[in-house]
């Protein structure tokens, strides 16, 4: 089969990589590296947008981190009906409305996790890498101090990666919703 003609922008994997039980790290940058939007009110509104997108498309987010000019989201599908691209399209449209007059860059970056990165042992370091963004950028000494990072799993408002039993609680919730 011939490869479709490349029309610019980032090349994407086949849609099957973003459907069903899929694990993807999404990075969304603001156009022109704009800053000044990140505050507690924006954070709360964006969390609500994300929760609706994730609930609609059978996704959870064990780690996210909002930075002054971009955001990271580690999304995990827990049902065969999960559609990461649809969730990201809807979320970005709503986030752009919230950001106005600022805007997100035209396309997000994504990294689909390999099967070897999906095991419980390998997955936690990927999530912690995302959560530690503010620490690496020297915005805080310890990532747990950064107020714009956390986890989102529709129906589990107290799930917080700062808590001691986070991973145990996350995997328990995930297994409860995991479809065959």
pLDDT at 6: 41
More confident residue, 179 or 105: 105
pLDDT at 180: 47
CA of residue 99 relative to chain centroid, distance = 17
Integer Cα distance of 76 and 179 in angstroms: 13
CATH number (domain holding residue 116): 3.30.70.1290
Integer Cα distance of 79 and 21 in angstroms: 6
Integer Cα distance of 147 and 134 in angstroms: 10
Q: Where do we find the tokens 């099967």?
A: 115
Residue 4, pLDDT above cutoff 50: no
Check residue 155 and report its DSSP letter: T
pLDDT at 179: 64
Tell me whether residue 90 is in a domain. Answer: yes
Tell me whether residue 6 is in a domain. Answer: no
Tell me whether residue 12 is in a domain. Answer: no
Parallel/antiparallel/unpaired status of strands 23-29 and 149-152: unpaired
What is the arithmetic mean of pLDDT over 108-133? 87
Phi, psi of 11 (to 5 degrees): -70, 140
Tell me whether residue 42 is in a domain. Answer: yes
What is the arithmetic mean of pLDDT over 12-22? 79
Task: Report cis status (omega within 30 of 0) of the bond before 110.
Answer: no
The dihedral region occupied by 14, where left means phi > 0, alpha psi between -120 and 50, and beta the remainder, is: beta
Tell me whether residue 10 is in a domain. Answer: no
pLDDT at 120: 76
Residue 103: C-alpha distances to residues 32, 85, 93, 97 (Å): 9, 19, 10, 8
Chain-wide mean pLDDT for the chain?
90
pLDDT at 94: 98
Instruction: Give the total number of structural domains in the chain.
Output: 1
What is the pLDDT confidence band of residue 19, given thresholds at 50, 70 and 90? confident
Domain that holds residue 70: 17-174
What is the pLDDT confidence band of residue 11, given thresholds at 50, 70 and 90? low
Tell me whether residue 160 is in a domain. Answer: yes
What is the pLDDT confidence band of residue 17, given thresholds at 50, 70 and 90? confident
Locate 135 and state its tokens. 């620490």
Tell me whether residue 41 is in a domain. Answer: yes
Tell me whether residue 180 is in a domain. Answer: no
pLDDT 10s digits, 136-174? 999 999 999 999 999 999 999 999 999 999 999 999 999
């Amino acid at each position: 089969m011939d490869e479709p003609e490349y029309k610019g922008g980032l090349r994407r994997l086949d849609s099957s990589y973003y459907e069903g039980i899929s694990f993807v790290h999404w990075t969304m940058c603001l156009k022109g590296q704009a800053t000044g939007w990140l505050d507690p009110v924006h954070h709360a509104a964006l969390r609500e947008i994300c929760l609706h997108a994730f609930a609609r498309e059978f996704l959870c987010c064990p780690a996210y981190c909002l930075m002054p000019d971009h955001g990271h989201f580690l999304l995990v599908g827990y049902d065969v009906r999960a559609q990461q691209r649809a969730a990201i399209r809807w979320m970005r449209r709503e986030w752009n409305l919230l950001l106005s007059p600022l805007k997100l860059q035209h396309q997000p970056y994504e990294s689909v996790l390999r099967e070897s990165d999906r095991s419980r042992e390998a997955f936690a370091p990927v999530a912690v890498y995302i959560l530690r963004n503010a620490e690496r950028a020297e915005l805080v000494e310890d990532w747990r101090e950064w107020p714009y990072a956390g986890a989102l799993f529709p129906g589990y408002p107290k799930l917080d990666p700062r808590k001691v039993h986070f991973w145990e609680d996350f995997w328990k919730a995930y297994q409860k919703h995991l479809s065959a």
